[in-house]
Structure 1
């Protein structure tokens, strides 16, 4: 997703444009990895020193609800990244547990699952693979 698409989604859902919201989205767009709310807060504090953590977290929650940000949990903490796209292409990620960098996986494991009982209707699923990227492995050796 591009920053402009995210801002349009906000507008389409009746949210006011603010420089703070745009900057939060730009921070997430600049990274190809998951960030914690604290990471986002640290980056935006330079431009908006009086901004509260509650405001940052409330906006992050709104962005997740609207599909602007994707959310996962690493080490017991919520982490966020700009949604990959709005073209409806279903995919999953591999996620580095050291730096939070992500890569898309081709295909979906649900396509090969036959173990779901016939009397169960799947309404959604989440599949993530965790590990260490080559850059982080190189830094630890």
Structure 2
């Protein structure tokens, strides 16, 4: 749903928003929202993120998908070299980041959640697996 809001806000801009949703029912809802809101800049892909070909996106966002450690391989495959990942994370975000840093390096900024004082939005850049 956050991607639909971004597409609405960017409708008059040269920005394409692609949503990846593996659940067919949710993808159908998003497709209906795209049609009803006339969002030609919004694309829906009904598949798992692991099956999406490598790309070089400027921004990738994820909400309620996986732990930071499990997201990083997909984020690294999908982001441009100067790209940013924006992750909406719950109360256990600190532990997730600590585990992720065992195998990965990344720059991180933390922003407070507007809906839960224990949740945050993480902005990750320069994601690289340790060798």
Using the size of structure 2 for normalisation, the TM-score is 0.28
Name the structure, 1 or 2, with higher relative contact order (CA <8 Å, separation 6+).
1
Q: Higher helix fraction: Structure 1 or Structure 2? A: 1
Compare CA radii of gyration and give the structure with the larger one. Answer: 1
